[in-house]
Amino acid sequence: MSTVTEKATFAAGCFWGVEHIFRKHFGADGITCKVGYTGGNTEDPNYRLVCTGSTNHAEAVELTFDPKRVMYETLVEFFYKMHDPTTANAQGPDVGTQYRSAIFYHSPEQKEIAERVTQEVQEKHYKDKKIVTQFIPAGKFYDAEEYHQLYLEKNPTGYECPTHFLRW
């Protein structure tokens, strides 16, 4: 019996922290994560090029999940819980379009869910600040270089991601 999986793609600042916190909280539910680049206009981007801001790609995480084990709605809410969606093109000390808050939706249903959850989170948790998360149709996802994959597992004391923590 095969399992039907879906993809969810999120950008929320430095992809090391985003990957790490999703794996930590949903790894037991069978979610797999990879970091990469999406949403831009350059074929086969690399880290150095993305960091210049010239590609318009975001550092992003692509999740593969079983919707019978974890609902997309749960992932979207967690996305909002683990970063600050009210800052445009920045998360803490990381500044640039590559660090924007964005949901790259893979279907009209995902877009509808993301918009609904965003409204709920806005009303409940960000009454005094506007959520600036972008909703973008998912396009090609370019895997980041191997040394970026599972970076915080490979380098547990090598870098702190002070912007990725649970806010509520």
**Tens digit of each residue's pLDDT (9 = 90 or more) over 36-80:** 999 999 999 999 999 999 999 999 999 999 999 999 999 999 999
In this predicted structure, the answer to whether residue 163 has a pLDDT above a threshold of 90 is no
pLDDT digits over 69-108, tens only? 999 999 999 999 999 999 999 998 899 999 999 999 999 9
User: Which one, of 75, 89, 69, 1, lies nearest residue 33 by Cα?
Assistant: 75
The CA dihedral of 13, 19, 20, 21, to the nearest 10 degrees, is 70
Residue 167 domain flag: no
Whole-model pTM: value is 0.95
Q: How far apart are CA 85 and CA 47, in angstroms?
A: 23
CATH number at 145 reads 3.30.1060.10
Residue 163 domain flag: no
Residue 109 domain flag: yes
Q: What tokens does 103 get?
A: 């949901």
Catalytic residues: 14
Q: What residues make up the domain containing 69?
A: 6-154
Residue 165 domain flag: no
State the total domains in the chain.
1
How is 92-147 classified by DSSP, letter by letter? TTEESGGG-EEEEESSHHHHHHHHHHHHHHHHHH-TTS----EEEE----EEPPGG
Residue 89 domain flag: yes
Q: What tokens does 150 get?
A: 């599972």
